[in-house]
Structure 1
């Protein structure tokens, strides 16, 4: 007896296989666009492959996290990297346990021995944001060593309101010559015990259930992020007692291919004895070199291009950034350069700068302003950026107020 297969059956099987291949391809590209190289049980994290900064030089390593095929209740993550200039190995490892599926509640533990940029603030609830490289990182030279043990809990009150709370114990050692005057003594390395609570509220985003998972189908604006940090003195030998309140909102009108306006407001304030490591900078991105062309580098996404690194630190500050994306030039199907108009403003102050020893910096109390434009996607994702500094912190030498750089924009 011979088995027979109809043409319709074969056609159906071919369609099924094509659909499956298409799904697998979309799955792969989606994860790659988020910075992961997916495998059966483990997704490699592309952020750790190779980077460069002024302190470590080339920084290279491997990292990743287990996926749902490994377990939907447990996850393990970690990375290891090596800095070729400082000759030091950095690493992190941790894991999580899901407490409730309905609210996506996770309990996490981690241990990290790495570097962190002085004056930077990270919101706990920030989603992954992957870039092929981080433009500002190339020029940063002010880092502190950070050894941190932490426990955190993630919880979704609803898809539009995400929260995360963390308690961490850290040993901090600046890589630069620095001391803080604390109770009459100069402290150059210190311990911190901190509690953080962060909220991310996206009231206008839309969600749908797809493949038994709730997924964001439309990003709505404005979006709001709020974070409170408290450092406790004498808890696990902590040296400092201070608090921080950080806020960010992003508002977008229109679409990038049809005229988009974007407003980003970031604000923060500290109270108490706060070391330089936990103060604020305004995300400067200008190298301290003499000529415009010597300062030629890569423009960041939300950084002040004419503000020099380590020029300002604040214990309270606000920045506003305005961007308007003009409709792309429709030269051909694959070649569509785009002009972006940009204005940035920063205002801040610091109460007792004399407490910070062996480092000199200014305040932002006169208000810092820069404006300029970008011409993006001129060739292979590269473009050009021009920015001019004016207002309260305009410099006497004209060329010192100018930043001329290239941009890089690629999306999968």
Structure 2
């Protein structure tokens, strides 16, 4: 080996399928000991005085690549590595303990020292970039007429392809600059989006997308025992119980910057576990994580997902805790059917200006995501100056292609159509037409029912919302309608006041007000035969105010007229023998709702919950009915509910809803709590699925509905079922309730003409209603079947001790 002068070789190593950089890859001059590792952007520089005729790039999980080099003193060599299905075989240690175990043990012992959650507070400046592409386009998909119209336009633009020559079709690209704030005790987070640029198919207003494309939704902390990804819990390679989930190989001892680190390969003990495989780098001196490059294996029981890859660099703060300085995530979604296409989503976050100090006051975190007033008013020169890294030529081509794609008429038609189906409303300038489920109905009371509605959107006003709809039943020849006006007083601490009036058909126990969020079940229950229908004519005043983060105050006044459309009678409070059919109520309500870590975003003029992370949601409601403004009854209603999602690690996920309530006073049974049964074919978690409609009503009650999703924990043990990716589910629904004799006496057994009536049924306070269920979800990746057994109250011949319910859902 001779010395012939210094040679400088620069280059970049990328993934041949995705075009993304491969950080931490090894690049070495063959026949020498001279080499280097790529940085987080996949770049490398090698300076050598040794002669070599080739250079090689290698990385775990990829096929090595070698390229010839000439005699130039400065040259650029780029590598595109192809992923390999070949897994490195584990080392076999004949005697003694695997040396990697001691390294992991020490890293786990020092977790608390390096976990960023131990900081009292910190702030960062973040740059986030997201790209979503259509890939793996099938031949059948490209032959569709609509697709051919798109490709004909895009053929004039530089085409993006993967290494196999397949076209990649970008559909979304965003860049976000934000400030992220964290405080502990209580743990609170906030992101202020300072600048955002969003372009994509179907994106007309970037304000909603800008709230969820920041770094707050791309946070991965491997110092947690479990990481929640796609609503599933994956065990960290340095979790407290690491020995039960992982095996490790000590690959090498290398230098990264000024730090000497151990490189360890990690892989799950069982391929179906929700765990990672890949490489982690641990500091030799401190046993802190330096870098991670981890993949969720294809064998994990995930729908549609072919690969999730997370790469991360960590930087220590002054206090020692680590904060990810760069994070790259790839999510590859396969074809749903052989005749469709797949998706590739790429997320990149770079962090700088990390500062620690005194925490912001709790009130500062009232809104989890805030958009600066001029967040979307910025030119390209700004982005060129403020991007942490310039866009690559491929990313510039992506931007051009997305801008062209979203203007193609056929693309706009399909994207707007999908939004219409998902939201229920079609934007037409300053108005939204909908909701489409109300355009057509058919039932035994109204016959064919046609309707339509309009509401204003934020283009009309960000302070006022007007809405209204009208519908007509051709059998009952009645008009139904609703009109309302809402004033948004404060968008930061969400504060609204709404005045509305409505005349509509409802069903006892199936009131539309109580079925919000169960649109499929509500639609199914309003077709065909209506159970105990009545005309509800009401006028309402509703107020809402978020007092501080997580705590919302509700209040309102409602006047309602109950006009039955079935054979219904009741006795009034005065105890005379006269039977009445109609009645009026006037009711004042007040309520509190608390979700400690619930996240909200603002979509147009609506506030949408993205749900809590781990804490329960509490709701307390009180209503007072009184003889005023035509009200006929004095009564009180008190209700407390608690709901929570429980992450159980490898055992799966549980959800429960517990509710208790009491009605004080003597009232007709439609005012009582009419427990929701389900006689439809469709499963709903809001109902008792073996209970008939209107079977039971109570003036005091307690219920708990519990569901567990095993996430493959049981069925993964069966080879054939594991291949089908079916997942077991379980249900247990319990209800205690009773009704006083005074309230039972309001419901007569015989009508004025001597015909028998159907009074409400009541529960025995010492005997609970109980149903148990089990089922399988993820059938053909979409469908779920539940089998329910009714365990109590089986004496009535009309009861069904066994029921089968079906549902459809998109889950990962």
- Structure 2 counterpart of 1:250: 643
- Are the equivalent residues in 2 in contact too, given 1:45–1:65 (CA < 8 A)? no
1:370 and 1:196 map into 2 onto residues whose CA distance is: 32
Query: Tell me, which stretches of 5 or more residues in structure 1 are unaligned?
Result: 1-6, 287-295
Quickly say closer, same or farther: Cα 1:121–1:198, change in 2 above 3 A. farther
- Selected match of 1:363 from 730, 740, 762: 762
1:367 and 1:11 map into 2 onto residues whose CA distance is: 61
2:803 and 2:768 map into 1 onto residues whose CA distance is: 19
- Selected match of 2:652 from 246, 259, 269: 259
Quickly say closer, same or farther: Cα 1:206–1:239, change in 2 above 3 A. closer
2:781 and 2:522 map into 1 onto residues whose CA distance is: 15
Aligned to 2:632, the other structure's residue is in SS state coil
Quickly say closer, same or farther: Cα 1:177–1:162, change in 2 above 3 A. same
- Structure 1 counterpart of 2:31: none
Quickly say closer, same or farther: Cα 1:39–1:242, change in 2 above 3 A. same
Aligned to 2:459, the other structure's residue is in SS state coil
1:273 and 1:161 map into 2 onto residues whose CA distance is: 33
Residues 293-372 of structure 1: pairs in structure 2 closer than 5 A: 297-328=681-712, 336-351=725-740, 352=742, 353-357=744-748, 358-365=757-764, 366-372=767-773
Aligned to 1:344, the other structure's residue is in SS state strand
- Structure 1 counterpart of 2:618: 224
- Structure 2 counterpart of 1:94: 484
- Structure 2 counterpart of 1:236: 629
Quickly say closer, same or farther: Cα 1:134–1:214, change in 2 above 3 A. closer
- Selected match of 1:41 from 430, 433, 453: 430
- Selected match of 2:784 from 377, 383, 400: 383
Quickly say closer, same or farther: Cα 1:130–1:158, change in 2 above 3 A. farther
Residues 110-259 of structure 1: pairs in structure 2 closer than 5 A: 110-119=500-509, 130-131=519-520, 134-138=523-527, 140-182=530-572, 183=574, 184=576, 185-206=578-599, 219-220=612-613, 221-233=615-627, 235-254=628-647, 259=652
Quickly say closer, same or farther: Cα 1:130–1:406, change in 2 above 3 A. closer
2:456 and 2:405 map into 1 onto residues whose CA distance is: 23
- Selected match of 1:82 from 446, 466, 472: 472
How far off is 1:298 after superposition?
2.2
2:602 and 2:564 map into 1 onto residues whose CA distance is: 47
2:602 and 2:438 map into 1 onto residues whose CA distance is: 32
Report the aligned-residue RMSD.
4.0
1:37 and 1:226 map into 2 onto residues whose CA distance is: 35
2:397 and 2:678 map into 1 onto residues whose CA distance is: 55
What TM-score does the superposition give when structure 1 sets the normalisation length? 0.80
2:644 and 2:404 map into 1 onto residues whose CA distance is: 38
How far off is 1:120 after superposition?
5.0
- Are the equivalent residues in 1 in contact too, given 2:675–2:694 (CA < 8 A)? no
Point out which structure has higher relative CO (alpha carbons under 8 A, 6+ apart): 1
How far off is 1:103 after superposition?
2.3
- Structure 1 counterpart of 2:809: 409
How far off is 1:279 after superposition?
1.1
1:141 and 1:361 map into 2 onto residues whose CA distance is: 13
Quickly say closer, same or farther: Cα 1:121–1:364, change in 2 above 3 A. farther
Residues 1-80 of structure 1: pairs in structure 2 closer than 5 A: 12=396, 15=399, 18=402, 33-43=422-432, 44-51=434-441, 55-56=445-446, 59-80=449-470
- Are the equivalent residues in 2 in contact too, given 1:140–1:309 (CA < 8 A)? no
How far off is 1:62 after superposition?
2.3
Deviations 1:58-82 (A, max 9, x none): 5542234221111101111122233
How far off is 1:332 after superposition?
11
1:191 and 1:103 map into 2 onto residues whose CA distance is: 35
Query: Tell me, which stretches of 5 or more residues in structure 2 are unaligned?
Result: 1-157, 159-391, 407-411, 749-756
Aligned to 2:689, the other structure's residue is in SS state strand
- Are the equivalent residues in 2 in contact too, given 1:34–1:128 (CA < 8 A)? no
How far off is 1:45 after superposition?
2.2
Quickly say closer, same or farther: Cα 1:325–1:256, change in 2 above 3 A. farther
How far off is 1:48 after superposition?
1.9
Of residues 217-226 and 306-315 in structure 1, the stretch that sits farther from structure 2 once superposed is: 217-226
How far off is 1:21 after superposition?
7.0
Quickly say closer, same or farther: Cα 1:173–1:396, change in 2 above 3 A. closer
- Are the equivalent residues in 1 in contact too, given 2:669–2:746 (CA < 8 A)? no
2:723 and 2:683 map into 1 onto residues whose CA distance is: 23
How far off is 1:344 after superposition?
0.6
How far off is 1:127 after superposition?
7.4
Quickly say closer, same or farther: Cα 1:59–1:407, change in 2 above 3 A. farther
How far off is 1:165 after superposition?
1.3
Quickly say closer, same or farther: Cα 1:146–1:21, change in 2 above 3 A. farther
Q: How many residue pairs are counted as aligned between the two chains?
A: 394
- Are the equivalent residues in 2 in contact too, given 1:395–1:401 (CA < 8 A)? no
- Structure 2 counterpart of 1:289: none
Quickly say closer, same or farther: Cα 1:247–1:50, change in 2 above 3 A. farther
